[in-house]
Structure 1
Amino acid sequence: MKRKMRRLTKKPFVRDVAVMASGTAAAQAVIMALSPLITRLYGPEAYGLMGVFTAIVSIVGPVAALTYPIAIVLPKRETDAWALLRLSLAVTVGMAVASAVVLLLFQTSIVQLFQLQDVASFLFLIPVVMLFAGLLQTAEQWLIRTKQFAITAKMTVVQAVIIQGSKVGVGFFYPFASVLIVLSALSKGVKALLLMLFAKPAEKQHHREPRSSIKSVAKRHWDFPAYRAPEVFINASSQSLPTLLLSGFFGPASAGFYAIGKSVLSLPVQLIGKSVGDVFYPRVSEAANNGENVTGLIRKATLSLAAVGVGPFGTVIIFGPWLFSFVFGADWVTAGEYARWMALWTFFGFINRPSVMALPVLSAQAFHLRFTIIMLITRIAALAAGYYIFASDLTAIACFGVSGAILNSGLIGITLQKSRHYDHEQSDGGNDE
């Protein structure tokens, strides 16, 4: 048994996941240690307003660079990767400027259309968040490509200390929603700056290679803005819907319950799921380039995540209300009821990380876009049924959670089917040669 453990820990994939997970674990420990104090300082309504703002930027932030940063990991040639990095930064600046222009021209109409009166004064932060988000995505993907996982892990901890510590420090003197919103807007910028400051310079192994143009890599990776960016935007919209709708239907406090529930349930997702995904992406890309069995990699990673996730998500399903009341205070017991149902779809979202990461490698981004559109429609229908038929926020969350679990499990099954087809084609191609 000890020999197996030694062999396992020596594997680069396991070692890299452990490095990423350790940094995320330390960051989440900081967040959880300070969260009981933060929730008592600010209260459900302030959390709800922050949740509404976070929901808005969670929709637009992921497409700040039109998902071009995700492509940085894929090219074999370093010059292509550098060109994608420059392209990502250029697109980020353009998108941030475009969002600022849109807000200047149509802010009043946007506020009225989406009922955003409670956070209208903070919408000017959206272009700033988009700029920070694009910079962070580009920096993260470059560090993933160059396998600087330790730097990412360390800076994740430093960011958590800075942002969460600021929430507590300022909250003692000024415990208002504006503090939470501004610090949330700055968080991605803080991490992006830290990554850029402490990243090791890339080795210049590509000096003999011809310089790749931004135009050529943009054309070669056209499927990212065409398919991946809309998919990411729609997926983010579907996940942010409960916050926006709960705030509109039942008030900011209800959105606050959802926000804290989602924050707690994201702990294992950030701790292990994202770490596995970040390391798995270059690994599955390498496997595809080398003709290895992709299906086996996806299946093994998915089952491993399922085994890890049963404990924490099962605990929330069984003891949610009591846990939230004990940790965050009696005012948050409803958040525990929400979390019970949210844990269903979060669990399947947790274990589908390998499938989602494999889809660009399988050239299945068009499928992912279609699937996400179906998910958005289904989730809107689920929330509408909970509100209009049952007039209950808890029932709306229950419908949302169950539908999310079914859809995410379906995504895993279809991805495995596509990977088997991909492996079969690769095998036939190899035999033909």
Structure 2
Amino acid sequence: MSAIFISRVARVLVGTLGAQLITIGVTLLLVRLYSPAEMGAFSAWLSFATIFAVVVTGRYELAIFSTKEKDEFHAVIKLVVLLTVSISVLVASGLVLVAPLLDSLPSVVSDYWLGLTAVSLGLGANKLVLSLLTYQQSFNRLGGARVSLAACIAIAQVSAAYLVGGVAGLVYGQLFGVMVATALAAIWVGKPLISASATASWSMVKQSAVKYINFPKFSLPADLINTIASQIPVVLLAAKFGGESAGWFALTLKIMGAPISLLAASVLDVFKEQAARDYRDKGSCRSIFIKTFKLLAVLALPPFVAFWFVGEWAFGFIFGDEWAESGRYAVLMIPLFYMRFVVSPLSYTIYIAQRQNLDLVWQLTLLGLTVACFTLPDTVDSVLWLYSIGYAIMYFIYFWMSFYCTKGDAK
């Protein structure tokens, strides 16, 4: 593993570590300010916002790393901004038109539909600015952007607990935090880049939209399906076993997702830039793929083995007896979290090779598996164990698909 790669990972890691410490720290407050049922309702609402956030960019922000000319680079940025705003408006209009049908969805969705749309727009814009900071190799600012997002949401949600209270406090806190943090990250991207992108020609924007059509054609449905597969469990648990189960599950995902976001996401930010460069220049990114895999697999094993023995106790000790059940959920899902930690950053090679059709097939299979796991079993334990093992197997397949795509001749 090169010293430059490790140095870049470390720079992003510092910021991501700060963001995760803030998230975990504020969670200690939130679980005492909000009940499991309120956290479950908010998590269901945020699931819908997260799903819409995937749609608004058309996934064209991923095309930024495939551009070779400055004009094309600026055109793709302008395209993503236009799509984010336009699709967000369409989502808002669609929610208004189908309002009478929203009774079949969790009530929190119909109660806070406008905030849901605004958060989706903000999250989509945040994806763009983080991609731009990565492209610029501004890894210190990238880490700062992650910290600011976590900090802004944390401060807003804690403050809203006293000012508003209930689910509304969580919703409005999320909205305020996302908007402020995204605006700050946009400033860090730099006015010259924003100005150059704003003046990109419409003809180049259209050409770029056509040239990188595989991203909305394959990546968008694949990533949308993946997001639905990752977010729908909260909704299905709430519907089948009640809001408390959804709240416990949501806390499990947040806390167990922390190491994934902490290191795996930091590795991804650096890996995708270097892998894309190696793929363009050498026709293969297999060397950096293998080195990154070894790094992730070795780093992840000791903490996950230790958590198997102390996880349930740790949740109860840290978050209180009311949330101890989340720890039991987490232990059941260790195979899933380990495989996700190791494989998810490496799967970016599928985008580099533009083999999104393979990804789409995998995501469709994953969605079917997820729905089956959360609808067929009759107990929460059976649901989570089946989900964990099935997901781990799917990620094993995903690894070999990603490895296959590291060679430029993988067609």
Q: Structure 2 length normalisation: TM-score? A: 0.93
CA RMSD of aligned residues (A): 2.2
CA deviations on 1:246-284 (whole Å, 9 max, x unpaired) are 000111111100110000011111111111111111111
Q: Distance in 1 between matches of 2:305 and 2:250?
A: 19
Identity across matched positions, percent: 22
CA deviations on 1:85-124 (whole Å, 9 max, x unpaired) are 0000001111101101101110221332xx3124420122
Residues 34, 166 of structure 2: 8 Å contact kept: yes
CA shift for structure 1 position 363: 2.0
Corresponding residue SS for 1:359: helix
Alignment of 1:263-302 (within 5 A): 263-291=254-282, 293-302=284-293
Equivalent of 1:17 in 9, 13, 30: 9
Corresponding residue SS for 1:76: coil
CA shift for structure 1 position 424: 7.8
Mean CA deviation greater in 372-381 or 80-89: 372-381
1:377 aligns with 2:364: no
Amino acid at match of 1:168: V
Corresponding residue SS for 1:360: helix
CA deviations on 1:147-190 (whole Å, 9 max, x unpaired) are 11111211322332222123233324544121112222333322
Higher Cα Rg: structure 1 or 2?
1
Question: Corresponding residue for 2:47?
Answer: 55
Residues 337, 394 of structure 1: 8 Å contact kept: no
Mean CA deviation greater in 191-200 or 212-221: 191-200
Residues 99, 126 of structure 1: 8 Å contact kept: no
Question: Corresponding residue for 1:146?
Answer: 136
Equivalent of 1:261 in 246, 252, 272: 252
Amino acid at match of 1:413: W
Corresponding residue SS for 1:213: helix
CA shift for structure 1 position 202: 5.2
Q: Distance in 1 between matches of 2:406 and 2:188?
A: 37
Amino acid at match of 1:262: L
Residues 268, 312 of structure 1: 8 Å contact kept: no
Gaps of 5+ in 2: none
Mean CA deviation greater in 60-69 or 157-166: 157-166
Alignment of 1:302-341 (within 5 A): 302-341=293-332
Structure 1 runs of 4+ aligned residues shifted over 3 Å read 172-175, 200-204, 422-425
Question: Corresponding residue for 1:245?
Answer: 236
Question: Corresponding residue for 2:117?
Answer: 127
Mean CA deviation greater in 340-349 or 245-254: 340-349
Question: Corresponding residue for 1:69?
Answer: 61
Q: Distance in 2 between matches of 1:229 and 1:424?
A: 21
Q: Distance in 2 between matches of 1:134 and 1:196?
A: 12
Q: Distance in 2 between matches of 1:19 and 1:177?
A: 36
**Pairs aligned (count):** 407
Question: Corresponding residue for 1:419?
Answer: 406
Q: Distance in 2 between matches of 1:70 and 1:111?
A: 35
1:366 aligns with 2:357: yes
Q: Quickly say closer, same or farther: Cα 1:143–1:345, change in 2 above 3 A.
A: same
Alignment of 1:380-399 (within 5 A): 380-386=371-377, 391-399=378-386
CA shift for structure 1 position 26: 1.1
Q: Quickly say closer, same or farther: Cα 1:111–1:148, change in 2 above 3 A.
A: farther
Q: Quickly say closer, same or farther: Cα 1:59–1:203, change in 2 above 3 A.
A: closer
Question: Corresponding residue for 2:153?
Answer: 163
Q: Distance in 2 between matches of 1:315 and 1:58?
A: 31
CA shift for structure 1 position 292: 5.4
Q: Distance in 2 between matches of 1:161 and 1:89?
A: 25
Residues 134, 270 of structure 2: 8 Å contact kept: yes
Corresponding residue SS for 2:352: coil
